[in-house]
Structure 1
Amino acid sequence: MTKIPFLIAALFCAVSSVNAQTTPDPLQVRGWAASCSNCHGTNGRAESGSESLAGANKDDMIKKMLDFKAGRKPATIMHQLAKGYSDDQIKAIAGYFAAQKK
């Protein structure tokens, strides 16, 4: 009988841990997004010749990144970079750039 409260507490901790892992820290997301600045500019505001990400549609960015990752969209380097991120990381990065001012 005394094991039940322990099991409930353990289950609560496990669920809390899973939820914490699915919501990345905003600073971590910003760090992931910073790696895009080489081609897409600081905070996604690219110079001429590159695609700006700031203020772009989140769903469109997610679709493009997932297409790069799966090899459905041809690229010179994006297909390799996209493979380095989980789908959840891609969604978080797209959300970061969508929230930036153009």
Structure 2
Amino acid sequence: MIQTPLLAALAALVLLALPGGAQAQAPDAAALQARNWAAACAGCHGPAGRAPAGAAVPGLAGRDKSELVRQMQDFRQGKREATVMQQIAKGYSDQQIEAIAGWFAAVR
């Protein structure tokens, strides 16, 4: 009889050998980090950027990445009026803004 750890290791090897195996399904570290940064937006913009109907703030899910980047940069530079977004945007680097915008753009 095969012991459980050996069986688990064998199963993992089989999955990795299949086309489109387990590695293709695992999100990469950059995607996980972008998701974590984007989670800070949920308080106002809704879970995964899906603002509730009638919300005072816009939903972010599925919006164009370049549009989101431009708006965040405008907030950060004080070019766009806001109550809190100017301060929030100042807390993110260009790389973080790009990652967050990309994450929201990919949400369907």
User: What TM-score do the two structures reach when normalised by structure 2?
Assistant: 0.70
Identity of aligned residues (%): 51
Q: Distance in 2 between matches of 1:90 and 1:32?
A: 9
Structure 2 CA distance for aligned equivalents of residues 25 and 55 of structure 1:
19
| 1:95 aligned partner | 102
Q: Which residue in 1 is equivalent to 2:35?
A: 30
Alignment partner of 1:72: what SS?
A: coil
Identify which of 36, 44, 53 aligns with 2:49: 44
Structure 1: stretches of 5+ with no match in the other structure: 1-23
Deviation at 1:38, TM superposition (A): 0.3
Q: Counterparts of 1:6-85 in structure 2 under 5 Å?
A: 25-47=30-52, 48-49=54-55, 50-85=57-92
The structure having more radius of gyration, on CA atoms, is 2
Distance 2:75 2:63 in 1: 17
Secondary structure in structure 1 of the residue aligned to 2:35: helix
Figure out how many residues of one structure are paired with residues of the other and give that number. Answer: 78
Query: Take 1:60 and 1:26, find their aligned partners in 2: how far apart are those partners?
Result: 19
CA distance in 1, matches of 2:58, 2:92: 20
Q: Find the aligned partners of 1:30 and 1:78 in 2 and give their Cα distance.
A: 19
Moved over 3 A (4+): none
1:99 maps to amino acid: A
CA distance in 1, matches of 2:95, 2:74: 14
CA distance in 1, matches of 2:102, 2:60: 10
Normalised by the length of structure 1, the TM-score is: 0.74
- Tell me the amino acid that sits aligned with residue 53 of structure 1: L
CA RMSD of aligned residues (A): 1.0
